[in-house]
Structure 1
Amino acid sequence: MTSTTALKVGAAYIRVSTDGQMDLSPESQLESIVQYAKSSRIVIPKEYIFMESEGRSGKKADNRPEFQRMIATAKTTPKPFDCILVWKFSRFARNQDESTFYKGMLRKKLGIDVISISEPVLDGMYGRLIEMIIEWQDEFYSYNLAQDVTRGMKTKAQNGGYQCRPPLGYRIPYHNATPEIVPGEAEIVRMIFDRYVNHKMSIFALTRYLNSLGLKTSQGKPFEKRSLEYILQNPAYAGIVRWNRTCNETNEIRDRSEWIVTKGTHPAIISEELYNQAMLRFESEYRPKNAKPAEVTKHWLSGMLKCSACGRTLSSCVRHTKSGDHYSFQCYGYLKGKCRASHYVTEKDIAAAVLNALQEVLEAGTVDYEVKSVVKAEDSHEMELLKNMVDRLELKEKRAKAAYMDGIDSLEEYKQNKLLIQKERETLTESLKQLEAAGPEENADSGSQERQMLDHIRSVTDILRSDRFSALQKNVALRSIVDRIVFHKDTMHIDVFYYLKEQSREQDPRKPA
């Protein structure tokens, strides 16, 4: 028998293919590796068995935590093992460049070989050549398979098939089934689009509003700005399939010519017209990452000024000096190279023009404005939604009690759950009371409506000229009567678009928030 000094210490690396290729299970791979190790006098300690969770691709080593842990372990001193055993070379890597890099580092710098137990190769340069050919075949297979999958997904998208995780408002009842509508969640989606398009609520304000009602995302979490942005930009809600918009590797948005947009086979939750209106507003008010929402802005005109050339919002910029803060505005499209017309204007000039426009309306005693009616159905949908949520709380209470009675939860946990449910009930009940108390106002004739509009303008003008109100309060006040202000740089003229809510439930703008 060979001396025990001939024993080697080895590591086992195990990964299951994600591409549907005929593959051994992780347990079968490990069993085969252990058998090979015994026959080759290689000892594999348990701590040197590295097994990836299923679904890890071999294309990129960065996406395989166990692989990275194995490489880090191999670099420790003294050398922990003499070789790494894999079922096939393709389990080690499907990318030939990465395979060559890591194998070269292991062999030349650390003295650790990578051995395929099912693909034996000769020693020396000829064996190394055979190994490289095997690696090339693996990568070639992976590339071709990816192309086949992409072609299949493209064909499905062109035929209107939905291929993503179902968003809020939909569910997939079984594998490869067409998404179907979840009624309760669909009402939330309709509310989001209605509030955003018809009531001009900002995404920031809409997020706070949804969370105040206790509503949740499809993952059961509170709404965030990014979750609303995803919903508003998702054409699936209008029954449209959009595929190949982003690059999976970099998450960058591809050129529109590469997108596939077609009529989907799944049912729509909102109309295509409403979705297009939402996208039109979203794109015109697009703000770069980390930009502050209008509700926390430092200037009361932020978000209100629009470019007369392209319709985009004029972004604000502040310069801090010893004499104070100096604001200016410029078209966001111009800053990004999307608009050719500069609309640069200082805060001093544009603020004066806005205040003068408000004053001229008050002196003339007449104003052109748009009346925006509150749709009763909207409130009934919200009330029905809240009532359903209150009813579901009873089921939560029963489940919490059952968990306590069955010994799953302790008495302290049961008390805590009851307290959380009670708080949620109080929040929902208060929201219901507010909706029920806010009944529709009596319709007024055009004369009384104009007087009401002028009174609103007078109140807002007083707020804007006062030093007692913050920039945020001024911004909210201005938004309560003005939809947008279009700035014409060539003539230094502004067009103010006023609106009046026929059934206004807004807080009196003269009262600080």
Structure 2
Amino acid sequence: VSTHMQEELSPEAQVRLLKEYASANNMIITQVYQDLGISGTKALKRPGFQSMIADCKSKKHPYDAVLVWKFSRFARNQEESIVYKSLLKKENVDVVSVSEPLPDGFIGSLVERIFEWMDEYYSIRLSGEVKRGMAQKALQGGYQGRMPLGYCKKSSAAIPSIVDDEAMLIRRIFHMYIEKKGNPSDIAIILNKEGIRNKQGHIFDAKKINYIINNPFYIGKIRWNYYNSSLKSFNTDNDIIIADGKHEPIIDINTWEQAQALYKLNKEKYKLRGRRRGNAGMKHWLSGILRCSECGGPMTYGKNAGRNVSVPFFQCSRRSKGRCTTSSYINAVKAEQTVLNALKEITSGKKINYKKPGISETDSETASLIKLELAKLDSREKRIKEAYINGIDSIEEYKENKLAMQKQRNFLNSQLEKAMSCIQNVVAAGYEENIHKSIDNVIQIIETRPEAYIDIGAALNEHVSKIVYNKKENHMTFYMY
């Protein structure tokens, strides 16, 4: 037995009909399995159904048949229906629909397949109608989902209202993100150390911080169809709906734009230098950046405890696990001094070899015009999607319009790539000057505030991807970007 808002019979009525059928056919019902309020499209998400299958497969053989009001109560997915019915058949358990009697012989099997196909078609059609309705609600500023941190709803139909203490936390997170140049790991560590938890009572992590920073709900917008739970992936911008909401924003536009610019910039750096922990969770400013030349593994910071004094050091983290055969041990004070001397040498005017990330902020006039046309194209795509959702255009018309716009987008992107490549050489000199200034800043912090390892690590990460230490040659190689 299961239920759905579109069905005409309640679960109680279904059970009554099953009992009447059993009584009329000399059957005894010993157990009723129910999945109340759960869709029948995914068998693995139905605990009642799974429990029934497990009982039917048991050695005790407790049942000879499974009674359902309709075959759609067993499964709405034809593939799953065939699989589970075959499984039960091996256990000599029949599936009987009390409202859909089947004729004997191969005709009965054919009719059963037709019922299954109709149930799946109904499910697909219903899903499409529900999705259209949800999309229309989103376009009208209606929010569908769990309230994010900072808001609450007094009823399902009420407009989300601000929770003052949570709103203060959201503003603090945005300001910390800007102050710390977009490092979500550091923010999460600081909040967790203070005992602050999210709306569900869980600790923060970089993923949760990034979700807050990227959630337009905090500037009064509604975002719908952002994530595909079935594929466990984020949808493309063309499939996401963002509309003006009816709720009061917590974050002002200026703060929002600063945070988004930082997020975009750090995303480009992330692609270039790879995954790395935030500095607030590290024991030393060289943690995570100093690498072993033998295996490429990270050098771990530790201390040798003597009788009167402990000696800090770095050693390859993989050596203790037997994954690296070379000892890359180096005294931490020596490592710090070597790095400082190397940084000073870099800023002495020598030519720097580095890998520069793609240019994102400097545009030529041509590139700016092309980007403007791409933005207009985004608006047009949203309009044709709205026309399809509202039933103005057919699916064929929608596909035709989308294909034409995709061709135009491909052309504009190719022109933009050519325009951006023309200004690479113009920007290179200014970028190298920026590296020098950044390294000068690192040197100043090391010499004036050596205890500020979080600030030193953050400043060093701006343009140093990694430092590889070769103990045999007593040499460090800097990888710049």
TM-score range, shorter chain: 0.5 to 0.7
- Choose the corresponding residue for 1:159, options 117, 121, 140: 140
**Alignment partner of 1:114: what SS?**
strand
Distance 2:251 2:297 in 1: 34
Distance 1:325 1:161 in 2: 59
Q: Give the conservation status (yes or no) of the 8 Å contact 1:460–1:477.
A: no
The answer to whether residue 252 in structure 2 is matched with residue 271 in structure 1 is: yes
- Choose the corresponding residue for 2:39, options 51, 57, 67: 57
Distance 1:126 1:137 in 2: 17
Aligned to 2:3: 16
Shift of 1:199: 4.4
The answer to whether residue 446 in structure 2 is matched with residue 460 in structure 1 is: yes
Which amino acid in 1 is paired with 2:251? I
Shift of 1:222: 4.3
Pairs within 5 Å for 1:289-328: 292-297=277-282, 300-301=285-286, 321-325=324-328
**Alignment partner of 2:96: what SS?**
strand
**Alignment partner of 2:250: what SS?**
coil
Larger mean CA deviation between 168-177 and 199-208 belongs to 199-208
In structure 2, the gaps of 5 or more residues are 291-295, 300-315, 319-323, 331-335, 350-439, 467-477
Aligned to 1:111: 92
Write out per-residue CA displacement over residues 148-207 of structure 1, whole angstroms, 9 at most, x where no aligned residue: 111122222233332221101111222233322222211111111111113447433323
Q: Give the conservation status (yes or no) of the 8 Å contact 2:22–2:28.
A: yes
**Alignment partner of 2:242: what SS?**
strand
Which amino acid in 1 is paired with 2:343? V
How many residue pairs match? The answer is 344
Write out per-residue CA displacement over residues 43-75 of structure 1, whole angstroms, 9 at most, x where no aligned residue: 122xx32222x2311011111112112111111
**Alignment partner of 2:233: what SS?**
coil
Shift of 1:115: 0.7
Q: Give the conservation status (yes or no) of the 8 Å contact 1:302–1:316.
A: no
The answer to whether residue 10 in structure 2 is matched with residue 25 in structure 1 is: yes
Distance 1:66 1:135 in 2: 20
Aligned to 2:155: 174
Distance 1:316 1:276 in 2: 37
Q: Give the conservation status (yes or no) of the 8 Å contact 1:87–1:116.
A: yes
Larger mean CA deviation between 283-292 and 158-167 belongs to 283-292
Q: Give the conservation status (yes or no) of the 8 Å contact 1:304–1:483.
A: no
The answer to whether residue 419 in structure 2 is matched with residue 478 in structure 1 is: no
Write out per-residue CA displacement over residues 403-424 of structure 1, whole angstroms, 9 at most, x where no aligned residue: xxxxxxxxxxxxxxxxxxxxxx
Distance 2:441 2:9 in 1: 77
For the structure 1 residues 488 and 230, does the alpha-carbon distance in structure 2 shift closer, same or farther, using more than 3 Å as the test? closer
Which amino acid in 2 is paired with 1:96? Q
**Alignment partner of 1:43: what SS?**
coil
Which amino acid in 2 is paired with 1:485? E
For the structure 1 residues 325 and 259, does the alpha-carbon distance in structure 2 shift closer, same or farther, using more than 3 Å as the test? farther
Which amino acid in 2 is paired with 1:25? S
Write out per-residue CA displacement over residues 285-314 of structure 1, whole angstroms, 9 at most, x where no aligned residue: 456999543334487357899xxxxxxxxx
The Cα RMSD (Å) is: 3.9
- Choose the corresponding residue for 2:219, options 232, 238, 241: 238
Which amino acid in 1 is paired with 2:236? D
Distance 1:55 1:296 in 2: 44
The answer to whether residue 348 in structure 2 is matched with residue 354 in structure 1 is: no
For the structure 1 residues 51 and 247, does the alpha-carbon distance in structure 2 shift closer, same or farther, using more than 3 Å as the test? same
Tell me the TM-score normalized by structure 1.
0.58
Distance 2:187 2:240 in 1: 29
Shift of 1:272: 2.8
Which amino acid in 2 is paired with 1:271? D
Aligned to 1:191: 172
Distance 2:58 2:479 in 1: 71
**Alignment partner of 1:51: what SS?**
coil
The answer to whether residue 125 in structure 2 is matched with residue 144 in structure 1 is: yes
Shift of 1:215: 3.5
Distance 1:487 1:475 in 2: 15
Shift of 1:144: 0.8
- Choose the corresponding residue for 1:132, options 113, 121, 124: 113
For the structure 1 residues 222 and 302, does the alpha-carbon distance in structure 2 shift closer, same or farther, using more than 3 Å as the test? closer
Aligned to 2:28: 43
Identity %: 35
**Alignment partner of 1:485: what SS?**
coil
Write out per-residue CA displacement over residues 295-347 of structure 1, whole angstroms, 9 at most, x where no aligned residue: 34487357899xxxxxxxxx9966754444499xxxxxxxxxxxxxxxxxxx9
**Alignment partner of 2:228: what SS?**
coil
